[in-house]
Amino acid sequence: MSRPIDHFPDTLPGRLLVGAIARYFSAKFLGEENVPRTGGALLVGNHGVFGFDAFVLGALLARDVRRMPTWLADRHLWLTPGLGRALDFVGAIKGERASAVEHLASGDLVVVYPGGIFDSYKLARDRHRLKWGNRSGFARVAMMAGVPIIPVAALGVDDIYRVIAREPGLGRLLFGDARYNMPIVLGRWGTVLPRPAKVTIHALPPVDTSGDPARPEDVERVRAATYRALQTRLDAG
């Protein structure tokens, strides 16, 4: 199914936006040969505050790979007035297993951030450290769809903002869960504007997703391999 975002990068506004994002963050995309030009694949990455890493990844995929992905997003984001329509436009879907498998099996490039809000809102002292807990749903989804996982390590995204604390109640008020309490950040000139940090995204070699998605040990093998690949690349800087 064609989406508005599929053709946007080939329009003049789309090309200008892609170029502006890439220039602002001095963005580079390495390992693009690991991203398939056709067919389904699950791109799994680390997440930064306010999702600026997703903007950069989307711009680089459009520019260098000529593919626009489907984004798996937290279903709570659709509760924010106006945000749901924006997410629909850019090709985001609620992060539910059945729909993710369907998109992958139909040949879509799908992006997921397993750490979600925990990875995105981590404090400055935890920068460049994955905050996934024991989440393994992404591994099971890729195995069920029969597609490879491509780890995408975004270096520099934790330098766009410095998260100094979390406010105590907005997330609980809006979504009924304190994990959504907003980060208190310092951006460019001490404001909420993003710093023009240099962002380099490494698309790493595919992770083998063969195995039985109903066997916990097979799922853990895929999860652990993906985690190790990403964290090793982030540690290397």
- Domain with 228 in it: 4-158+196-236
Model pTM above 0.95: no
What are 150-197's pLDDT values in tens digits? 999 999 999 999 999 999 888 888 777 888 888 999 999 999 999 999
Is 227 within the bounds of a domain?
yes
Is 12 within the bounds of a domain?
yes
> CB of 153 within 8 A of CB of 204?
yes
Is 82 within the bounds of a domain?
yes
Is 170 within the bounds of a domain?
no
What are 75-128's pLDDT values in tens digits? 777 777 677 777 777 778 888 899 999 999 999 999 999 998 889 999 989 989
Number of domains in the chain: 1
Is 42 within the bounds of a domain?
yes
> CB of 141 within 8 A of CB of 223?
no
Is 124 within the bounds of a domain?
yes
> CB of 173 within 8 A of CB of 161?
no
Tokens of 43: 């791109």
Is 47 within the bounds of a domain?
yes
Is 185 within the bounds of a domain?
no
Backbone angles phi, psi at 195, to 5 degrees: -70, 145
What are 147-162's pLDDT values in tens digits? 999 999 999 999 999 9
77: left (phi over 0), alpha (psi -120 to 50) or beta: alpha
